[in-house]
Structure 1
Amino acid sequence: MDKKLYPIKFTPLLKERIWGGEKLETVLNKPLNGRARIGESWEISGVEGDVSVVSNGFLAGNSLPELIEVYMGDLVGDKVFQKFGEEFPLLIKFIDAREALSIQVHPDDELARKRHNSFGKTEMWYVMQADEGSELISGFSKKITPVHYQEAVKNNALEDLLAKHPVKSGDVFYMPAGRVHAIGAGIMIAEIQQTSDVTYRIYDFNRVDENGNSRELHTELAVDAIDYEVQEDYKTNYKEKLNGAVEMVRSPYFVTGKLKIDDTFGRDYYALDSFVILICMEGYGKISYGEGNHESYSKGDTILIPAELRQISLIPSETTELLEVYVP
């Protein structure tokens, strides 16, 4: 039996959220089995207590940390393994916001390490679907001070200071640690982020759960985490290219590009020395690798390409859109 590494799929970890809906099932074909308010599908995770488990091939049933322990640089890339060891550096999610998420911010590496012994949380959003009139929050609409921020939270006026952006399918927003943000109602996104589950919730629209309890806010913790600067444009602009690769986001933590293909498309990853994650936004087809080996993909699939698979070919059965992610 061939025991070489191959394109790896994982069993999604579905998360119930007060703001969640049903699009993960109706749009992305994730079986919710009658569960309601499922807001997140953790596609690839090394977060302690929420680690991904392989669902395909001879490695099925093994966890992501077990794979890294055994295969090391062959799986994640030598430079990635040297830097992160057995910690997987990225967390990949799909998020379905039936209602708006809380307004929140994430600490950077330095603050997260000091307070939580954790990585910081820089992330990006790719809008997969958005109901008409949907919008999200990214950054401030005007420059404010920490004192002004605290007063606005106290007076229930924080929303008035935030930059709101109408969105449609294909929009991209990069969220460096420190940027205040929130996903609005009616939006489904793919989220790529550092491996961290540290979130400071600073406003929750006065919501309560089924027991009448408000969720915890982290107003004071957020003061030192927030970037109070105002950006000219918060949206990431890019141009699609049929049967080509377009880089959308390059950060110290991840590089994300988009592939839109309707014909066989080869990818050479030799120079990356990193694993690659492919996230299928639209379409379906096969990944060809090795000598005559194939793995299928379809909309909603997230697939880890081990670093030792340095060349693959994507063979679409219809026009296909994929996100391509790696560690620089």
Structure 2
Amino acid sequence: MKEAKYWEPLDGKKVRCHLCPLNCIINEGKRGSCRVRVNINGKLYALNYGKVSSIALDPIEKKPLFHFWPGSCAFSIGTVGCNMHCKHCQNWEISQADESFPYLQDATPEAIVRLAKHYECESIAYTYNEPTIWYEFVLDTAKLAKKEGLNNILVTNGYINEEPFRELAPYIDAMNIDIKAFNDRFYMKIAGVPSGEPSRKVAEIAKNEFGIHVELTYLIIPTLNDRDEEIRNFARWVVNNLGDDTPVHFSRFFPHYKLLHLPPTPVETLEKAYKIAREEGLKFVYLGNVPGHKGENTYCPRCGELLIERWGFEILRYEIQGGKCKYCGKSIPIIGEYKRKKYRGMWW
């Protein structure tokens, strides 16, 4: 347990948390919506500091990040809790849990950095659940990782207030931001928060003000956020506010958690979203959860040649040299060169 950052005391030993846009007012002895920030005697504490629920060596493509150190290893960690309550969450066992989760292990920032270096990973990814509500531990670990030459990656819903994000941003190298939908009704009904605007604002600040590498994921769920007009408006926002070279991942939904009654996303729906996004000017559009589909690949926006062939999280072919298309010489916005490496006996 650690005293939290970004809160203010209120009358009657209440506190107001200012970490995320929910700005929860929390009575003494009660918790915020995230379940892991608690008011104890008029002070706000983070109950999940240093509490690790999940740890793994992941190919960076799993985050998904396709334009940031392709083929590299991300030392991935997560905790418990989330400031959203998505009815389709794949990791609901930890995102909707608290510090009583039975499989938590204690860790320090020093230990996480030491392990990441031991396994020869290029980055630490804060993932699996929402890193925003692990803020204090992420900030401490990211600062130390930066000193040790490691990259820091946030896999996030982006639902964080501007002030805490601006403190964390200088230590973050890449983000995959999950844009849940492009309508607030979805955010209210399915994600449990009033609006998606704060997440979009954080994406803009990250890329345009701090130069953080940003990729977006949009999980397409049948009947809920799959309308052509909604996809088109989302693509236009990306082009106008983040740039046409921003990688966008349209991901396939499978029934999970509280949305078991919905069918998997038809591949044709994903292909239509791909077509719409390309029509709106996006240069790098990808389809997720469809292994073997050509929508996983990177093509040159000038000559159309296949530059990176993927199968799931594995790179099968790489035709970018010195950051440029091998065939026509066009610059391709990918950070870092691909080098197939062996991590403790495992190739990727």
Q: TM-score range by the shorter chain?
A: 0.3 to 0.5
Q: Which protein has greater RCO, CA pairs closer than 8 Å, 6+ apart?
A: 1
Whose strand proportion is higher, 1 or 2?
A: 1
Whose helix proportion is higher, 1 or 2?
A: 2
Instruction: Name the TM-score, length of structure 1 as normaliser.
Output: 0.32
